[in-house]
Amino acid sequence: MATCNHCGYKNAVDGQYCPNCGNKVQDNTLAYIAIVAIIIILLALILGPAYLLFKAYKTRQEPITNWWLVASVFTSITAIILAPYFAGEHPDWQWFKATVTYVNWAIFIGSLVMLFLRLKNYQYQFTKLFNTKNDKNE
């Protein structure tokens, strides 16, 4: 037994037409592989930058921090765009589409805030540097 990709009817037969809506029922193996791949990408998006940000702060490698924040912004935008494509209109996978969208919006907004704070920190450092040079010259 399979589930109809169009209406969500549970007792449809794979390769046959759905008795509920008339659509041809197809195997969902590729969809499951895509969902597992997206979950792995989400975990990598959350755990990878978190580890590297911690490592960068610990060793004071600030350019790495900035590039990981920029990369997480762009990858979260990509995942927000691709989540509805992989979930489709199947009623059983609407929770997946919503979860991926909310998690990626959180990553996107958090990365933008962190990037803004990092740039503000650089602006403060440059202002302090130039004010120090001007004070020494006078």
pLDDT in tens, the chain (138 residues): 677 777 878 887 777 888 888 888 776 667 678 778 878 877 777 777 677 767 766 776 666 666 767 777 777 777 777 766 666 666 666 777 777 777 777 777 877 777 777 777 766 666 776 676 555 555
Burial (CB count <10 Å: 0-12, 13-18, 19+), residue 37: exposed
Question: What residue type is assigned to position 95 of the chain?
Answer: W
Helix axes 29-59, 94-137, angle to 10 degrees: 20
Question: Does the model's pTM come out above 0.95?
Answer: no
Distances (CA, A) of 69 to 60, 75, 103: 15, 10, 16
Cα 99 from Cα 93, distance rounded (Å): 10
Phi, psi of 89, deg, nearest 5: -105, 15
Question: What residue type is assigned to position 31 of the chain?
Answer: A
Nearest to 93 by CA among 137, 135, 33, 31: 31
DSSP three-state, residue 14: coil
DSSP three-state, residue 17: strand
